[in-house]
């Protein structure tokens, strides 16, 4: 019987068995355990309560301050300090300090800290992002993370897998973001609940790593446990330039068992937008009222990579336009490495002249933390992944999720806009 990627990677990490199938409950070894400033604070408390002195490995635990950092207030500062102290106390070899890191889901793949075939658990729901490099990666809460920090293990139910196949020709201005929004729109926010999502097909084969990361990032928005991109030359080139330890790529078997197969023909597909207040309220941009907006946020672990800002820079350079003076445009690189690269390209100057506020890396407005909170009457186009009520500020604020090109066009026009309108 053929196996899915989730079954193969879980089997390779399982304690008492060498073969698993969907539905099995297994204890597995973890390769990487991650938490951020919000989740690590509780994880460290739970770790202490478990009475364990030392973490299972000082090399495989990554505590990344990202949400309320640079510390936005005293409480956040106290919280972030628990990470710094714990990192020192346990002599963790990977340090992620403000100014030198960024959002965990941008930083970990970028530094080759999560690799193909790894089993990763993270105290953040978007840990599923690492499936783009071929890792089994899933989000958990703080106490589960504490258990993994203490033992290097966790328990899992082997998920069933849904397969998503994309064919056809992508139109200009259509990216991985649009494919995943369209997919979530179709299967809804609990369409992949407890399941693994395998993405494949000729359209995926052509996607660069940045867009693959965008897609696996949003697996959780369909309720998914994990997601996978196939390992190919694109993955190999990306990973080999970064990895400092050996890795094992896995491939799904031809005869693996899938609970469902979803085929998409992307030919003629427009940029997609998720309207308030759910990531599955997705419509093609031409079918949405071009409403006036107050803010645009370009960044986050979904679209905060170099290639995302290249799209923004390209539009500004080609059109010679500036952002609408009535719109607050927040441009926030997903990591300090991205920041430095866009600085070197001259884009920070370009964005600033066009009227954007460019900041150091942080999750910031994505979760309504800081750096661009919305008022009740306001509307925002955001390249992030969630538009729940209250997510970016006031409960009545309206957030439209889109790709970086739509966000840029909207920032220029002062309303939801298709890049072709420029």
Partner 1 sequence: MKLEGNVWKYGDNIDTDVIIPARYLNTTDAKTLAAHCMEDIDQVFAKEVKPGDVIVGGRNFGCGSSREHAPISIKGAGVSCIIAESFARIFFRNAINIGLPILESPEAAQDAQKGDPMTVDLAAGTITNQRTGKVYHASPYSPVVLAIIQAGGLVPYARNILGITS
Residues that bind ligand SF4 (CB under 6 A): 66-67, 103, 105, 124, 126, 300-301, 363, 366-367, 384-385
Residue 400 host element (H or E) = strand 398-401
Q: How many residues does this entry show for the chain?
A: 422
Give which of ligand SF4, partner 1, none residue 103 binds (C-beta under 5 to 8 Å, depending on kind): ligand SF4
Per DSSP bridges, beta strands 282-284 and 272-274 are antiparallel
Contact code string over 192-231 relative to partner 1, x by CB under 8 A: -xx-------------------------x--x-x------
CA dist 368 → 290, 304, 372, 399 (Å): 24, 16, 7, 11
Which range, of 83-91, 101-109, 187-195, 332-340, touches partner 1 by CB under 8 A?
187-195
Q: Which residue has its beta carbon closest to ligand SF4?
A: 363
Other C-beta atoms closer than 10 Å to the C-beta of 325 total 7
The answer to whether the beta carbons of residues 215 and 176 sit under 8 Å apart is yes
> By rule CB under 8 A, what string of x and - marks binding of each residue 357-396 to partner 1?
----------xxx---x------------x-xxxx---x-
- Tell me how far, at minimum, the Cβ of 273 lies from ligand SF4, in Å: 18
Bridge partners, residue 35, by sequence: 63, 123
Euclidean distance between CA atoms 296 and 277, whole angstroms: 17
- Binding mask 325-364 toward partner 1 (x if CB under 8 A, else -) reads ----------------------------------------
- Answer whether 374's CB lies under 8 Å from 294's CB: yes
CA 256 to the chain's CA centroid: 27
Query: CB of residue 333 vs partner 1: minimum separation in angstroms?
Result: 21
Asked whether 328 and 369 are in contact (CB, 8 A), the reply is: no
Annotate 352-389 with DSSP letters as a single string.
Answer: HHTTEEE--S--GGGGTSSSSPBPTT-EEEESSS---T
Distance CA(251)–CA(245), nearest Å, equals 20
Return the structure tokens found at 56. 């299972």
> Residue 164: phi, psi to the nearest 5?
-125, 120
**Least CB distance from residue 397 to partner 1, whole Å?**
11
| Least distance (Å) between residue 195 CB and ligand SF4 | 20
Quick one: 383 or 410, whose CB is closer to ligand SF4?
Answer: 383
Nearer to ligand SF4, 73 or 88 (CB): 73
* Of the residues 52, 98, 243, 422, which one makes contact with partner 1 according to CB under 8 A: 52
Figure out which of the listed residues 4, 8, 22, 68 binds partner 1, where binding follows CB under 8 A. Answer: 68
Please report, in angstroms and rounded to a whole number, the separation of the first and last CA atoms in the chain: 53
Q: Is the dihedral of CA 9, 12, 13, 16 positive or negative?
A: positive
Select the binding partner of residue 225 from ligand SF4, partner 1, none (C-beta < 5 to 8 A, by kind): partner 1
329 binds, among ligand SF4, partner 1, none (CB under 5 to 8 A by kind): none
Binding site for partner 1 (CB under 8 A): 25, 38-39, 41-42, 45-46, 49-52, 67-68, 72-73, 75-76, 79, 122-125, 127, 139-144, 146-147, 150-151, 155, 157, 189-190, 193-194, 220, 223, 225, 278, 367-369, 373, 386, 388-391, 395
């Amino acid at each position: 019987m053929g196996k899915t990627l989730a079954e193969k990677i879980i089997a390779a990490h399982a304690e008492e068995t060498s073969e698993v199938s969907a539905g099995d409950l297994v204890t597995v070894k973890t390769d990487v355990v991650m938490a951020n400033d919000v989740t690590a604070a509780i994880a460290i408390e739970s770790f202490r309560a478990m009475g364990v002195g030392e973490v299972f490995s000082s090399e495989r635990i990554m505590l990344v301050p990202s949400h309320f950092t640079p510390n936005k207030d005293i409480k956040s500062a106290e919280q972030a300090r628990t990470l710094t102290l714990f990192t020192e106390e346990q002599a963790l070899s990977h340090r992620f300090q403000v100014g030198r890191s960024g959002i965990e889901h941008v930083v970990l793949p970028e530094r080759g800290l999560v690799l193909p075939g790894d089993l990763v658990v993270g105290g953040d729901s978007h840990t599923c992002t690492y499936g783009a490099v071929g890792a089994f990666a899933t989000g958990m809460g703080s106490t589960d993370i504490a258990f993994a920090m203490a033992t290097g293990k966790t328990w899992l139910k082997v998920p069933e897998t849904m397969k998503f196949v994309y064919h056809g020709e992508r139109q200009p201005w259509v990216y991985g973001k649009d494919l995943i929004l369209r997919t979530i729109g179709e299967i809804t926010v609990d369409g992949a609940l407890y399941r693994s999502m395998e993405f494949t097909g000729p359209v995926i084969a052509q996607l660069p790593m940045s867009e693959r990361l965008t897609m696996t990032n949003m697996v959780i928005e369909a309720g998914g446990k994990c997601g996978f991109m196939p390992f190919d030359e694109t993955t190999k080139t990306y990973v080999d330039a970064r990895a400092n330890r050996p890795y094992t790529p896995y491939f799904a078997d031809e005869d693996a068992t899938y609970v469902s197969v979803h085929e998409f023909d992307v030919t003629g597909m427009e940029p997609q937008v998720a309207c308030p207040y759910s990531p599955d309220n997705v419509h093609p941009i031409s079918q949405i009222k071009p409403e006036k907006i107050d803010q645009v946020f370009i960044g986050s672990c979904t679209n905060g990579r170099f290639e995302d800002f290249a799209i923004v820079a390209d539009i500004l350079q080609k059109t010679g336009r500036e952002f609408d003076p009535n719109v607050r445009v927040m441009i926030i690189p997903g990591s300090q490495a991205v920041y430095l690269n866009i600085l070197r390209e001259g884009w920070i100057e370009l964005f600033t002249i066009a009227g954007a506020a460019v900041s150091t890396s942080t999750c910031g407005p994505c979760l309504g933390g800081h750096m661009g909170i919305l008022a009740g009457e306001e509307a925002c186009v955001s390249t992030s992944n969630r538009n729940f009520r209250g997510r970016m500020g006031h409960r009545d604020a309206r957030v439209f999720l889109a790709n970086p090109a739509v966000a840029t066009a909207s920032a220029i026009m002062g309303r939801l806009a298709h890049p072709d309108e420029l």
